Structure 1
Amino acid sequence: MSQQHPPPTPSPPTAAPSMGAADVKRLLSAAFIGTALEWYDYFLYGTAAALVFNKLFFPDLDPAIGTIAAFVTFAVGFIARPIGAAIFGHVGDRYGRRTALIITVVLMGVTTGCIGLLPGYASIGIWAPALLATLRFLQGISVGGEWSGAMLLTLEHTPKEKHGSYSSIPQLGSPVGTLLSSGAFALVGMLPDEAFYSWGWRIPFLAAFALLLVALYLRLRIEESPVFRAMMADAEQNGPPPAPLKEAFRRTWGRIIIGMGAAFLGIGGFFLLTTFIISYGTGELGIDKSVMLNATLVGAVVEIGVLVVAGRIANRVGAWKVCTWGGVISVLAAFPTFWLVDTAQPALVILGVAFGIGAISIPYASIGAVISGMFPETFRYSAVAMSYNLSGVLAGFVPLVAASMLGLSDGASWSAALLLILIAACTTAGSYFAGPQLRRRLGHAPSDQHETTKDVKVTA
């Protein structure tokens, strides 16, 4: 009976501080590097969709329609993300966060490498775009479980007072993945066009096979979350909890909607200012593709700095406040970002893209702490994954919607700027409404585990 007394219940959250400094550093390094390699694979597709796939997989279409068709296959990956969230959420809540992360990285590495082996439309006809869409779908399945697992494994190993900054560590994988993917395309983009479209574009995708070995090695070294180990001990004593995904929707559907809104800018805004803006700059403004790729590279460097600073601020003022104000700043930055890009002057284009990416990175820094903090542990992986990836479904259509709106506005960028404002407003509202949820949970339960223990008993 002594194990049920209040003092032992915080054991999962307080287990993390007992880890040695070297163990924490290894955990954070593995989470960051593994996530960076995963996002490299995923972002690579977005860059290729803007530069290559319309020509090689949809050559019979008008260039503008071909670009939209390429973005449709891009969006397919986002449609698959909730499916991946359901699958890996269940795996993560029942069999372990570490187990889910090992499966996701293998799936992502294999599917990305296979894209580099695909023949084009000229070789196998309609099968080329069909296979491309299938592989993109499998990428989406993988990403559906990746982010939530990496975030939870990081936060469940570390003390709560540092969750603002620690939640930014897996987020660093996004700009680093952008640097790797855009940098890889920038290098092969230096090839003559004939070589680039023939075989050069395949090299960054084929590199995923080698990167998979690195990522898998790192994931195998990560220890399982102490929170999950405590969940398993409780399940052995009291029986397994109810189906995690069902419980997540039954008991916390409102928080899932809030999480969707809070996460929207970090996903949708990012692809608007990378995937879409590359297509807009090269296709509509006639800017050289190297300039647009370099702009995203500079933006990624800026994002790294913003994530570090915003994460540290979140430790002091609260993660949800940083996300809320980051959304407001992004609303104000929308039109200036596109005005700078519209000049078509290389330096100003780079400044505009970097400015926009920097703004949307503020809420992205600590969004993991906001979303994960709203849910009990017994179904946290499922709830966090579903919140983030349902938002990702909407975000996946952002480049397609932006391209369509651009046509309706006769190529004027004000339509894309308005879309960015709408996305940022969703994150501002979602983050603001997450505040009371976080205060309620922290105020009524000294630890997440205390609430979880009560929840298990009530639902059992």
Structure 2
Amino acid sequence: MTSPSTPHRTADTAAEARKVAFGAFVGTALEWYDFFLYGTAASLVFNRVFFVTDNPVASTMAAFASFGVGFAARPVGAVIFGRMGDKVGRKKTLIITVIMIGVATALIGLLPSYVTIGVAAPILLTLLRLVQGLAVGGEWGGAVTLAIEHAPPEQRGRFGVMPQIGSPVGTLLSSGAFLAVGLLPQEDFMSWGWRLPFLAAIPLLAIALYLRVKIEESPLFEVMLKEEELAKTPVRDVFSLTRRELLIGAGSTLLGVGGFYLVTTFAIAYGTGTLGLPRSLLLGATLAAAAVEIVILIAFGRAVERFGAGRVTLLGGVLSALVAIPAFLMLDTRNPAMVVLAIVIAVALLSIPYAASGVLLTSLFPANLRYSGVALASNIGAVVSGFVPFAATWAYAATGNSSMGPATLLILLSLVTAGSGFLASRRRDATAEELSGTTPSGSPRRHA
């Protein structure tokens, strides 16, 4: 069986593409709000409420380990929902994922503490984090696939970046929520205030679900369904036929995801716990960085259309490697302006390859394997990324309590992503025909 050679449906107007991209953006923003919320709480709350030990460093590492569990679950979610997205439909699958993560997040806000129910508290928290991870494992890959398959061929960069913009918006919402409840007295914040941002997932879920139900299914998927050209075993085919593409895709995501958590989640814990900086300063810096990231994503989403996703990814990786050490030296000054500037610059540069992720990953896989391929590639990278705050904490201790440990880790992530962007650019950046399921010559690409 071959992947469909039917060209991108011309009836998809730019207005329809914008509607789909906006729906994908809103749903993804909720997903990332919920997912990032856990990261912030792991830095500020969970080590004291759920993972209670006599050693503060051990408690923080335990909280970050539970944070990493969500990332470990993401490839499993990619397998489950990737297969569903390639066989049942992009839209139906995305409705399921958004419901799962919204409900799991609200339940975290209702979870009793370690003092109340003992060891059951961290166990239940970790299980809910697992559900979050499964849902996110199928979310981003489907959202970006749906957005790009609806987009006009010459504008895939700008439409493909819309789900990525959900990431900084989710950061703004989650950090803003914690910044607001952080104004409460410390006792109130630790007892009930931190729960409010998690419970806010309920109304946000209602909005995202409404918008997601209204969007249209991918026209390309409808063509494949009608012509019976769906892959019978998409996940197995991805591993057997596109292994190289899978590795390139996974490597290209490491900086945008793992690097982001290093300079936000780890930096919050490092700044408040080690440097003695105010919690509000670090959260404020994260908010500023997220606002700048939105601008970077929009600008480099357009740049992808001109220069190609591989070259943009390479550029972002190299620039991030160059600023890793200076950024941590700025953080160590404890000067508020320098601290904010360090986090803003680091996030801005690592957002460059993130802007290219949608087009780069969707270009690697044929249409009938695309949801599975994109989901698996991004989430294999996420397994490593999820444990970056834990690894950064270890690297800090292993280097004699030096910030050069986590700085070196950021350099490594940057270089892996830069190398992946180079390989992707050598392979070639996506053409309109390739993203419609065919090779540039017009012949169908065989998937089995």
TM-score for both structures, normalised by structure 2? 0.96
Structure 1 segment 373-388 matched on structure 2, within 5 A: 373-388=363-378
Match of 1:449 among 437, 445, 448: 437
Structure 1 segment 304-343 matched on structure 2, within 5 A: 304-343=294-333
Structure 1 segment 264-279 matched on structure 2, within 5 A: 264-279=254-269
State the Cα distance separating 1:266 from its structure 2 match: 0.7
Give the AA of the match of 1:99.
K
State the Cα distance separating 1:339 from its structure 2 match: 1.2
State the Cα distance separating 1:437 from its structure 2 match: 2.9
Whether 2:210 is the aligned partner of 1:222: answer: no
Whether 2:31 is the aligned partner of 1:48: answer: no
Give the AA of the match of 1:23.
E
Task: Give the structure 1 partner of residue 398 of structure 2.
Answer: 408
Q: What is the identity percentage for the equivalent residue pairs of Structure 1 and Structure 2? A: 47
Task: Give the structure 1 partner of residue 238 of structure 2.
Answer: 248
- 1:202-255 Cα offsets, whole Å, 9 max, x none, are 0000011111101100110110001101110121xx6x5330000000000111
Give the AA of the match of 1:43.
F
Whether 2:151 is the aligned partner of 1:169: answer: no
Instruction: Find the aligned partners of 2:390 and 2:209 in 1 and give their Cα distance.
Output: 33
Match of 1:188 among 165, 173, 181: 181
Whether 2:2 is the aligned partner of 1:9: answer: no
Give the AA of the match of 1:25.
R
Aligned residues: 444
**Secondary structure of the structure 2 residue equivalent to 1:450:** coil
Give the AA of the match of 1:9.
S
Structure 1 segment 364-375 matched on structure 2, within 5 A: 364-375=354-365
Structure 1 segment 140-159 matched on structure 2, within 5 A: 140-159=133-152
Task: Give the structure 2 partner of residue 94 of structure 1.
Answer: 87
- 1:39-95 Cα offsets, whole Å, 9 max, x none, are 000000000000000001122241111000000000000010000000000110000
Whether 2:431 is the aligned partner of 1:435: answer: no
**Secondary structure of the structure 2 residue equivalent to 1:113:** helix
Task: Give the structure 1 partner of residue 190 of structure 2.
Answer: 197
Instruction: Find the aligned partners of 1:302 and 1:223 in 2 and give their Cα distance.
Output: 31
Whether 2:383 is the aligned partner of 1:393: answer: yes
Match of 1:289 among 268, 272, 279: 279
Verify the 8 A CA contact 2:87 2:231 in the aligned structure 1.
no
Task: Give the structure 2 partner of residue 74 of structure 1.
Answer: 67
Contiguous gaps of at least 5 residues in structure 2: none
Instruction: Say if 1:61 and 1:93 are closer, same or farther in 2 by CA, change over 3 A.
Output: farther
State the Cα distance separating 1:167 from its structure 2 match: 1.6
Verify the 8 A CA contact 1:165 1:366 in the aligned structure 2.
no
Match of 1:212 among 187, 205, 211: 205
Task: Give the structure 1 partner of residue 25 of structure 2.
Answer: 32
State the Cα distance separating 1:379 from its structure 2 match: 1.1
Contiguous gaps of at least 5 residues in structure 1: none
Give the AA of the match of 1:100.
T
- 1:130-189 Cα offsets, whole Å, 9 max, x none, are 000000000000000000010000000012221222221111100000000000000000
**Secondary structure of the structure 2 residue equivalent to 1:172:** helix
Whether 2:350 is the aligned partner of 1:360: answer: yes
TM-score for both structures, normalised by structure 1? 0.93
Verify the 8 A CA contact 1:287 1:344 in the aligned structure 2.
yes
RMSD: 1.7
- Superposition misfits of 4+ residues, deviation over 6 angstroms: none
Instruction: Say if 1:270 and 1:447 are closer, same or farther in 2 by CA, change over 3 A.
Output: closer
Task: Give the structure 1 partner of residue 113 of structure 2.
Answer: 120
Instruction: Find the aligned partners of 1:395 and 1:446 in 2 and give their Cα distance.
Output: 29
